[in-house]
Amino acid sequence: MHVLDGYKLVNRDLCIIVIVGNRKNISYVHHLYNGCKETFMKVTVYNIGTATRNNWIIETEYGLIAVDTGLSGQADGFLKRFTKQWHKEDLRYIFITHAHNDHAGFLRELLEKTDVTAVLCALSQEIMTIGKPSESHAYKNWLGRILERAMASNLGTYPPITDNCRLQIVGDGESVFGDLGIMAKVYKLPGHTSDSIGLHIIERSLMFCGDAAMNRPVLNANRHTVLIEDVKSYQESWDKLIELNPELLFPGHGRAFPVSDLVRYRHYL
């Protein structure tokens, strides 16, 4: 059992985290599919993702929010995992953190197969109407170089969204999901990509940050992403996350982790 900054990591492999200390409102935590379940006051966070990427599901009293999709062609697999726990009709929103294929690839398929509304920024919408994100990155590690080559091929493309898709375009600092009974805001987090955004659940201080940070063993030991379009913007986004000071960050890849990790590794950027 490992303790770090007020969080007790019960099982490192399953990414099961229990808040300890002043938080008395945890009801239970258990393994769910390939990820975790973390219960807070008004929201419960599940991970029904795959071995390579997360699909965070935010359960509220009035409906569900999914954070990002996955590679194009994988909508059926996502829905199979989803419907083990909920009905398709329970999925109210899909929040897109940025327009890379592994985060937005099957969005159009999901919009066609469900009644979900996609929440994204205007720049992501612009990119996704083309169906191919930028291939230019100022920084990349060895894995990033492999991914950049893949993005330059057809592997980086996905079915474009159209004008008749159910979209909600959001801006920096905008409040969202009030109809689900929670307080949440959108924040721009550019650097990894110019269109990157994060979702901050204010009541429980949870930040869904996409690829503004990662936390996979070995590959992201310092919480840095493997591809960065603009290093200065990426540094500023980390500074914004540190200033917002969420209790937990939920990345697109890897386990949830405390904001103190960003403070610890900020000087490496």
pLDDT in tens, 80-93: 999 999 999 999 99
Q: Up-side HSE of residue 7: CA atoms within 13 Å toward CB?
A: 19
Edge to edge, the sheet with strand 184-188 lists 175-176, 184-188, 197-201, 206-210, 248-251
CB 188 within 8 A of CB 121: yes
Answer CATH for 2-268 from 3.60.15.10, 3.40.50.300, 3.60.20.10, 3.40.50.2000: 3.60.15.10
State the pLDDT at residue 17: 38
Q: Which of 24, 44, 40, 43 is nearest to 32 (CA)?
A: 44
At 268 the pLDDT is: 83
Cut 0.85: pTM above it: no
* Better-predicted residue by pLDDT, 74 or 42: 74
pLDDT band at 6; cut points 50, 70, 90 = very low
Mean pLDDT value of segment 236-257: 96
- If one counts every other C-beta atom within 10 angstroms of the C-beta of residue 89, the result is 11
Give CA–CA dist 24/26, Å, rounded: 6
- What pLDDT is stored for residue 7 in this prediction? 35
Q: Residue 45: which of 25, 60, 63 has the closest Cα?
A: 60
